[in-house]
Structure 1
Amino acid sequence: MLTTSAIARHTSSLATYVRKKMLDMKHRNKKNVCIIYGLEPSKVADLKTSPTITFNLKREDGTWFGYREVEKLASLSGIHLRTGCFCNPGACAKYLGLSHSDLVSNFEAGHVCWDDNDVIKGKPTGAVRISFGYISTYQDAEEFLKFLQSCFVSKPIASSNGHALSMNTLNLVDNQSQQVVPDVRLKSIIIYPVKSCQGFSVQSWPLAAGGLKYDREWLLQGSGGEILTQKKVPELASIRTLINLELGKLFVESPKRKDKLQISLLENLIHLTAEVDVYGQRYEVESYDEKVNTWFSEAIGRHCTFMRCSSSKNSFCTSTGKNGRLCRDTRSKLNFVNEGQLLLISEESVSDLNSRLSSSNGNGKQHVLVDAMRFRPNIVISGSTPYREDNWKRLHIGDAYFTSMGGCNRCQMINLHQNAGQVIKSKEPLATLASYRREKGKILFGVLLNYEDGLNGQEETVAERWLQVGQEVHASTE
């Protein structure tokens, strides 16, 4: 009979079993993998054990796996976890050992809910929680434990001569052997005027202080003040955009609206609103009238406000990338982008990914191959070799120069694709990328760039330069 006490016994039994197995997990150097928070198991009777386990994971070198990395990989395995501070910052600070100054420092560094700043200055900013319910089974528990073992526990790899080798999950080109590559060319230029909506391709386009002119200059804000993205609102992927520079207009279309929205690029807007925060970056925005807001609200099926970036304010840098390069922009003007101004994708890297997607298809299920557009790039190049762009530090296209900010950390958005007007979710290509492109909590694909002439953020001081499809791309590792 399904009673409350029977459910409590069942869920407590599952949690006790998993907790003990987690505490027994060791890296190859015998260091613990799992740090579990709360009362010590010895002080709690098994039948009174909570059906939830709150924990963090450590690497063999003692550094932390971020909770966002754990959540991201778990979702690819069909495991649903809760992460962050669980709307309880007091308990979060207590168990994570975060002082008041740590909390203030994290906030000043741009850490907010829903962002990827899961480890700051070597300390986790949140944790992971797994919960068991009455329909949970021991098979579910075993699947979760197998997930931890396969993704987070280091194991030696025996070579043919019997010696143990370490595993390097990120396939990077050797920096010492990297040379300037001839005959790499600009294949495509893509502009995304509205954050998380469809972009459009052009043959040529001007640059501005924020990167490509008008790129991600608009966004949609929800009724609760949250910034709407495809992560939360997949319907945004069906909204098409186009800018006609000669007419000076932004055109927006949606399958849910018969009329096409036309917005003047030079139009005087309603008023200057309060600042908004987009993943730690502060912006001043201008809003539109209710007619425009109604159009977008009907297009995505929820109330929203359409806003345009007026200016951005510099944020603090939270970490550094490979070779000491910044992995979050701190100097240049940013429109509504998460990190760097532009994203570069290599066709050869996409081809390598597709070959891995094809070769991993051993269960008879056909994988949908991806193209460069799946990754929402601004610049697509061709003529290089796979992942050579990983080690580029600087490049110039025509007379425009760019600085590499390091690799782009991918999320579940790249698993969304459109089929016959429907937004389809899958586990690929992120699952395959996670198998060979993980580095310190990130799944990297593509390179973030900043336009060097825009580093001072002063629009009026930037001489207008244009990118043109077919231009040579000259890259340097020095």
Structure 2
Amino acid sequence: MAGGAAEPEPELRASQRFPDSAPSRAPGLGSLRGLREREFGRLAGTVYLDHAGATLFPQSQLTSFTEDLMENVYGNPHSQNITSKLTQDTVEQVRYRILAHFHTTPEDYSVVFTSGSTAALRLVAEAFPWESPGPGSGGSHFCYLTDNHTSVVGMRKVAAAMNVISIPIRPEDIWTVEEQGTVDCDPDCQLPHLFCYPAQSNFSGTRYPLSWIEEVRSGQRRPVSVPGKWFILLDAASYVSTSPLDLSAHQADFVPISFYKIFGLPTGLGALLVNNRVAPLLRKSYFGGGTAAAYLAGEDFYIPRSSVVERFEDGTISYLDVVALKHGFDALERLTGSMENIQQHTFMLAQYTHTALSSLSYPNGAPVVQIYSDSDFSSPDVQGPIINFNVLDDSGNIIGYSQVEKMASLYNIQLRTGCFCNTGACQRHLGLSNEMVKKHLQAGHVCGDDVDLIDGQPTGSVRISFGYMSTLEDAQAFLRFIKATCLRLPGGQPVPQACDNEAGDESLSPQKGAGPDPGVCNGSHLAASTVGLHLPLSVATNTQSTASEKAAGILRGNFGPHVVTNLYLYPIKSCAAFEVTVWPVGNQGLLYDRSWMVVNHNGICLSQKQEPRLCLIQPFIDLQQKVMVIKAKGMEPIEVPLEEDNGQAQICQSRVCMDRVNTYDCGEKISSWLSKFFGRPCHLIKQSSNFQRSAKKKPEKDLSPGTTATLSLVNKAQYLLVNTASAMELQQQLHASDNNGKEEVLPMKDLISRFRANIITNGTKAFEEEEWQELSIGSFHFSLPIYQVVGPCHRCQMICIDQQTGQRNQDVFQQLSESRKRKVNFGIYLMHESLDLSSPCVLSVGSEVHPVLKE
């Protein structure tokens, strides 16, 4: 997998002291490298470090499962025919396999299949025998560790409906009876309480003692000083993904799990392991198919089935997914030997990475990262294979997690960011008060978004996690990424990519084969339009000077005139630009801008993030012939009609930035052309002409009452404007940081092409465009307002792709991040209302731009 072609840095030179772990010597597979080649070939070029989110399934598991389905007929287990009997027997056999995996038997535990651990938690919340407060009784208590997953905390809503008190408990507040004093309680008091805690924190990897199960049940430890009987729910979803759990030694009452955390496949299947001694206490109000022994449709008469499994598995379970579990167990045992081996291997990787990461510092001695942990990574008993951290700059300021994630993707490193559905741990480790969390919500931040810093305060962090197929080279590739992005590689070296070379060595080397040799395209895809003559970037002709009265006189002194120097449209989303000097404008912006997009075999839009070679596809619009000509090196040009064939094309549903759009397929001919170029099935689709996609606007950004801006297949707005002065400043910064200015400077046109703007203007002041509220361009006027600035463009890793070659280099993104205080904004979005198209509207190079400043 990923490793260094060059000699490793001292802190990375660990292969001599990092022994082969048991999984690398699994019977019949030889080395871990052999396992990766045989079972996880799809990981070539990728460093996958999100196993706590979802681990990966091996090829042999999928193959054996598929063969099983092809060779056998599995019927609905609620029927009585032969195929049904096969399913019933297989499902019961898998239940035994699950219990054996957790070192217990059907005499002690029952396996209730659910859609996942979240559904299992909800089942407990709804079925637990809560007692509401009454005369002489304080009622049941629901206590949970604040370092619990959201799905555990959410149980309090069900408890609240039963008037049950919910009490969050901080990890440091679990006390003993001796410390809290004697609890005055009738020894026969059976008032039921529920305590929930995670075996492993999904945030930090901290492992809480399994001994708490018996200590809390026996009264040695109590979350709250109340009389009654404590039941224990052990959230094991994160823990069991890489570690053995012995339920014969640690007999929790309820254990929710999700199987994709262990096997990678199937998803959407989990289970609740119920201790049989508490099963009779569970109550149920709803009954579904298969759970009733008898009932009447016209009378309130219902008799449940006897066993806890039959009572709580409503409807037909996902029985084919249960069949898949059998092959998951087979593959896991065959490839790794045991969960003990997995635990040892993944812990050693985490321990090594934690040690190296902790030692990284800037030249001034400041640490490169801040790690959030409650353990010293000394033992798998106290720490799982998870490392949670934030990256710091040399002044100790936190770099937003979304910027780290974007940079990691340039290295083909897959990690996770945010709060990981664990707000309690996030607050505790990041020092976020309840008031801060509420303030962040008011500022627009919600769980799962990329708003990483608010007033300098982090809203989340970065998490990496290891699985049994993870390698030392994966860890080293990650550490090199941190060093390269924080401590900077000298000389502007290209981004190291994780890939396997022809000799089979696992090395970290620059990306190869992503496109033709540099210089092949030399900018030719920014071709001159058939509509007008090409004007180079340096030309700023003053051909039009009309402006609205509102804009006139606003800009004085230092600002000077602004002129459109270049116009670009991008007919196919994420493909090469088409440069024009005069071009028609419609209600959605420049005519045919982002009207088409390339999708994969599942109909998912492709962008340069997944397929950098999209930039090598060159579209040309011929308005007179009403065709788009598409070119690429090594391919014959192909034509696509600008409009659908008399509206006969079949409409399909697609998505752009979470919006539903109506599109149609442009045909098999262009599909075959694209598939040949990319080496995988692809289609070209176009937005339907009769479909309108409305722009999302905050209330304060409304264009005017009762109007709606419409969009093509763009991400956010109709136009993107870039100021040449801003690009020049960035170019100078790149040159200054690039080996003390000795290397060749990145050409201005190549730099600007990375930002994929529609309108390029000259300017006298860098980033002055971010102070504009609205503007007019030449004689092109809209009803008030004119062009409205709807905000800055928050840049992603696409700006690291050379638009002439498809090669990646992180320097532009990193320099912009550093110079712009980690926000990576460049360019502004513009929007206009619906236009009066009774007369032609055009934009042209040379037009004056008249901005209005923000108040």
- TM-score scaled by structure 1? 0.71
Alignment correspondent of 1:70: 404
| Inter-CA distance 196–185: structure 2 relative to 1 (3 Å threshold) | same
* Corresponding residue to 2:830 among 427, 444, 449: 449
Structure 2: stretches of 5+ with no match in the other structure: 1-15, 23-343, 363-368, 428-436, 489-553
Measured against aligned partners, the alpha-carbon deviations of 1:146-182 in whole angstroms (never above 9, x if no partner) come to 96799xxxxxxxxxxxxxxxxxxxxxxxxx9987944
* Corresponding residue to 1:394 among 737, 760, 774: 774
| Higher alpha-carbon deviation: 244-253 or 2-11 | 2-11
Task: Tell me, in whole angstroms, the C-alpha distance in 1 between the residues paired with 2:658 and 2:447.
Answer: 7
User: Are 1:128 and 2:452 counterparts?
Assistant: no
Alignment correspondent of 1:433: 816
* Corresponding residue to 2:799 among 410, 414, 417: 414
| Inter-CA distance 93–282: structure 2 relative to 1 (3 Å threshold) | farther
Where 1:246 maps in the other structure, the secondary structure is coil
Q: Count matched residues.
A: 411
Shift of the alpha carbon at 1:280?
Answer: 2.2
User: Are 1:236 and 2:569 counterparts?
Assistant: no
Task: Tell me, in whole angstroms, the C-alpha distance in 2 between the residues paired with 1:117 and 1:137.
Answer: 27
Shift of the alpha carbon at 1:48?
Answer: 6.3
Alignment correspondent of 2:265: none
- The answer on whether the counterparts of 1:67 and 1:118 sit within 8 Å (CA) in structure 2 is yes
- The answer on whether the counterparts of 1:110 and 1:280 sit within 8 Å (CA) in structure 2 is no
Task: Tell me, in whole angstroms, the C-alpha distance in 2 between the residues paired with 1:145 and 1:463.
Answer: 57
Where 1:351 maps in the other structure, the secondary structure is helix
Shift of the alpha carbon at 1:282?
Answer: 2.4
User: Are 1:475 and 2:851 counterparts?
Assistant: yes
Task: Tell me, in whole angstroms, the C-alpha distance in 1 between the residues paired with 2:838 and 2:398.
Answer: 41
Measured against aligned partners, the alpha-carbon deviations of 1:433-464 in whole angstroms (never above 9, x if no partner) come to 1111235xx301111111x233xxxx777864
Alignment correspondent of 1:170: none
Task: Tell me, in whole angstroms, the C-alpha distance in 1 between the residues paired with 2:359 and 2:692.
Answer: 48
Alignment correspondent of 1:342: 719
**Aligned AA (1:82):** L
Alignment correspondent of 2:564: 186
- The answer on whether the counterparts of 1:180 and 1:477 sit within 8 Å (CA) in structure 2 is no
User: Are 1:361 and 2:738 counterparts?
Assistant: yes
Task: Tell me, in whole angstroms, the C-alpha distance in 2 between the residues paired with 1:317 and 1:408.
Answer: 15
Where 1:429 maps in the other structure, the secondary structure is helix
| Higher alpha-carbon deviation: 339-348 or 463-472 | 463-472
Task: Tell me, in whole angstroms, the C-alpha distance in 2 between the residues paired with 1:340 and 1:180.
Answer: 29
Task: Tell me, in whole angstroms, the C-alpha distance in 2 between the residues paired with 1:376 and 1:146.
Answer: 26
User: Are 1:424 and 2:801 counterparts?
Assistant: no
Q: Calculate the aligned-residue CA RMSD, in Å.
A: 4.5
Task: Tell me, in whole angstroms, the C-alpha distance in 1 between the residues paired with 2:671 and 2:793.
Answer: 32
Report which structure shows greater RCO (CA 8 Å, sep ≥6).
Answer: 1
Identity, % of aligned positions: 23
Alignment correspondent of 1:248: 626
- The answer on whether the counterparts of 1:13 and 1:46 sit within 8 Å (CA) in structure 2 is no
Higher Cα radius of gyration: 2
Task: Tell me, in whole angstroms, the C-alpha distance in 2 between the residues paired with 1:360 and 1:20.
Answer: 27
Shift of the alpha carbon at 1:255?
Answer: 1.9
Measured against aligned partners, the alpha-carbon deviations of 1:67-108 in whole angstroms (never above 9, x if no partner) come to 3222124567x69351258xxx996689669xxxx9xxx9xx
Structure 1: which 4+ aligned runs deviate by more than 6 Å?
18-22, 92-97, 109-113, 117-120, 136-140, 145-150, 176-180, 459-462
| Inter-CA distance 146–426: structure 2 relative to 1 (3 Å threshold) | closer
User: Are 1:376 and 2:756 counterparts?
Assistant: yes
- The answer on whether the counterparts of 2:629 and 2:637 sit within 8 Å (CA) in structure 1 is no
Shift of the alpha carbon at 1:187?
Answer: 0.8
Task: Tell me, in whole angstroms, the C-alpha distance in 2 between the residues paired with 1:284 and 1:472.
Answer: 36
Alignment correspondent of 1:161: none
Shift of the alpha carbon at 1:469?
Answer: 1.2
**Aligned AA (2:772):** W
Structure 1: stretches of 5+ with no match in the other structure: 26-32, 151-175
Task: Tell me, in whole angstroms, the C-alpha distance in 1 between the residues paired with 2:20 and 2:810.
Answer: 37
- The answer on whether the counterparts of 1:186 and 1:470 sit within 8 Å (CA) in structure 2 is yes
Shift of the alpha carbon at 1:333?
Answer: 0.9
Where 1:393 maps in the other structure, the secondary structure is strand
Measured against aligned partners, the alpha-carbon deviations of 1:294-317 in whole angstroms (never above 9, x if no partner) come to 222223222112111123444655
- The answer on whether the counterparts of 2:612 and 2:807 sit within 8 Å (CA) in structure 1 is no
- The answer on whether the counterparts of 1:409 and 1:445 sit within 8 Å (CA) in structure 2 is yes
**Aligned AA (1:409):** H
Alignment correspondent of 1:403: 788
- The answer on whether the counterparts of 1:287 and 1:308 sit within 8 Å (CA) in structure 2 is yes
- The answer on whether the counterparts of 1:195 and 1:216 sit within 8 Å (CA) in structure 2 is yes
Shift of the alpha carbon at 1:211?
Answer: 1.1
Task: Tell me, in whole angstroms, the C-alpha distance in 2 between the residues paired with 1:222 and 1:394.
Answer: 38
Alignment correspondent of 1:466: 842
Task: Tell me, in whole angstroms, the C-alpha distance in 2 between the residues paired with 1:383 and 1:272.
Answer: 44
- The answer on whether the counterparts of 2:586 and 2:837 sit within 8 Å (CA) in structure 1 is no
**Aligned AA (1:446):** G
Measured against aligned partners, the alpha-carbon deviations of 1:89-144 in whole angstroms (never above 9, x if no partner) come to 996689669xxxx9xxx9xx99999x857789x99688532658424789975984
**Aligned AA (2:829):** L
Alignment correspondent of 1:82: 415
* Corresponding residue to 1:215 among 593, 604, 621: 593
Measured against aligned partners, the alpha-carbon deviations of 1:406-454 in whole angstroms (never above 9, x if no partner) come to 22122222222255xx422212322221111235xx301111111x233
- The answer on whether the counterparts of 1:209 and 1:462 sit within 8 Å (CA) in structure 2 is no
- The answer on whether the counterparts of 1:183 and 1:383 sit within 8 Å (CA) in structure 2 is yes
Task: Tell me, in whole angstroms, the C-alpha distance in 1 between the residues paired with 2:640 and 2:633.
Answer: 16
- TM-score scaled by structure 2? 0.42
- The answer on whether the counterparts of 2:734 and 2:815 sit within 8 Å (CA) in structure 1 is yes
User: What are the within-5 Å matches in structure 2 for residues 22-421 of structure 1?
Assistant: 34=370, 36=372, 40-41=374-375, 45=379, 49-55=383-389, 67-74=401-408, 80-84=413-417, 127-129=462-464, 133-135=471-473, 144=482, 181-265=559-643, 267=645, 268-274=647-653, 276-310=654-688, 311-314=691-694, 331-362=708-739, 364-371=742-749, 372-398=752-778, 399-400=780-781, 401-417=786-802
Task: Tell me, in whole angstroms, the C-alpha distance in 1 between the residues paired with 2:358 and 2:657.
Answer: 37
